Structure 1
């Protein structure tokens, strides 16, 4: 039941209630980005504009909706084929000073174009609005960078099967995410049309989430002594290995119940070493042939292990 003391308050609460119901219905099936989306009216290729409050999503929607079809200004829900479930809700606009409720104004009243019935996600843009930006700047993002920035702007991501892999697949299909630093919504109108044409890119990441076989207690004792603290991997929602931007050691993007974590440096080596549980001595023995260990490595290894424990990636076995 939705009620309100005034019609404007009722409209705002009703809009929120319907949005929440839609997000709830899509849990576990759809990747849902808190973003605005606009589509090419001819091709259906759609840009998702992602950003925290104040980054200009609604303002950009009003400006770009004169030439691109309006898909949503709230939640971009993407299925496994890259199709977007349209949600052309009224735009929530600040007309009076807060805490007055936002006005709910329909896209037709704002002159926004109608999007094609089956829009396809073709571009992911992270908005970076800066009042002193002289010209718009487009910065390509690696998958690791993009996922870390996108994860806080999703709904129920942890309930999607292989959530990090799903995000990587979306980024492949859309040619990789970009950050656009801009000042005014008109700047986006200059750069987005060309970006919407960027092609898909080939897959370079791989899923590495698999369970190793736990060694027996006799094996633990034989290898590392009965009194050693044995470590193991925590149960993860997903883990993906991605080539690093410098072309050297790959990075790992893992998702735990606490969130998404990016592992670089010695972190991926430690995680791979714990395909089966072992103690610190065992970890060092397993990673030494692959990355080498300098003198005095013990304190750095222990510090790295403790960081992984604090993020819920490693546990005591």
Structure 2
């Protein structure tokens, strides 16, 4: 139930967003008629009526204040409201959830397919079509706890409309999008959205390596750096649902024909957490030492490291072996043996020279050092 309170020329209303209650306030001009603030608030927020009340609401954002508004600013304020509610909920869950710039749909059994993509790639259009066949979870933000449970965010869809300066906010029910199932929502598949080369292209779903998928997903994840061991949690979540797939969306009417493949992937990509032992100290013959990395995962297609300044870096070639070696504080001879066992002797130069040349990228990125004093 939504309760509205009016005080003089102000109005308040609570909006729910993936487990958070957001108190929205507005003020109307002093010359406004009695009840105008309440009427305006009702108009602004009626498109949020489909947003479910959280089962266990443990957090409340104190306020999103829209300032002084009137009919002349209605569409702009309604668009601002959507953005501010989302940002408030993201801040509230910082460090507690994996939160993706993504749309989501749910089957009757509660399985959720998450479709990740940056602004402008077509998430809302995709959700608008898929929501006619599956329960609409969100077109903007999908929040997932570390066990894979999805918190729905049935916000109004933000639709570009001819003749309107701002995106028009439309309630899911107005677009006849399906309601959520009664079953608990559990993440079951992840797709990374890609624009097609031509509008008449078929919708295609293709696998992508776990490391490559992590890099793409990280770019669309909010407050990832506030989570302890963020890459391990993200890799664990992705591997449980079959890793990542790239979905190139063609003609909208054909989208739902391939979406079922997102839900039921059986492949489980393997990954390993590769981090230094903080209790070990380098020796005088240690080749490289690790620096400034808060998490790192090794996958079949590369190693992803996440730095203290919240940057994700993909290591390929001999990069993953250099990172492993630095975490183990290996000597030069141990490192040379490691590289030659994996890649064979370096062509045209000795292996140590090849390693030094290849290490420049990692040293420049600040994730390893050849000076053991940097660790002290």
Q: Shared topology, TM-score over 0.5? A: yes
Indicate the SS of the match to 1:237.
strand
SS at match of 1:287: helix
SS at match of 2:158: strand
Q: 1:263 and 1:97, CA in 2 relative to 1: closer, same or farther beyond 3 A? A: farther
Deviation at 1:309, TM superposition (A): 2.1
Residues 275, 327 of structure 2: 8 Å contact kept: no
User: Counterparts of 1:1-317 in structure 2 under 5 Å?
Assistant: 1-3=65-67, 4=69, 6-40=73-107, 42-96=108-162, 100-116=165-181, 118-132=184-198, 134-199=201-266, 201-202=267-268, 204-215=270-281, 219-220=283-284, 223=285, 231-244=288-301, 251-256=302-307, 257-275=309-327, 282-283=331-332, 285-292=333-340, 293-294=345-346, 295-315=349-369, 316=371, 317=374
| Partner SS state of residue 95, structure 2 | coil
Supply the distance in 2 between the matched residues of 1:23 and 1:255 (Cα, whole angstroms). 21
Indicate how the Cα distance of structure 1 residues 266 and 11 shifts in structure 2: closer, same or farther if over 3 A, else same: same
Distance in 2, matches of 1:8 and 1:112, equals 22
Greater CA deviation, 268-277 or 14-23?
268-277
Aligned with 1:146: secondary structure?
helix
Listed as ranges, the gaps of 5+ residues in structure 2 are 1-64
TM-score, normalised to structure 1's length?
A: 0.85
TM-score normalised to structure 2 length: 0.73
**Deviation of 1:97 (Å):** 5.6
Distance (whole Å) between structure 1 residues aligned to residue 268 and residue 118 of structure 2: 29
Structure scoring higher RCO (CA < 8 A, sep ≥ 6) equals 1
Question: CA offsets, 1:23-56, max 9 Å, x none?
Answer: 011111111110011111x111111111122221
Give the total of aligned pairs.
295
Structure 2 vs 1, CA of residues 214 and 34 (structure 1 numbering), >3 Å: closer, same or farther? Answer: same
- Structure 1: any 5+ residue segments left out of the alignment? 225-229, 245-250
Between the aligned partners of 1:10 and 1:209, the Cα distance in structure 2 is: 47
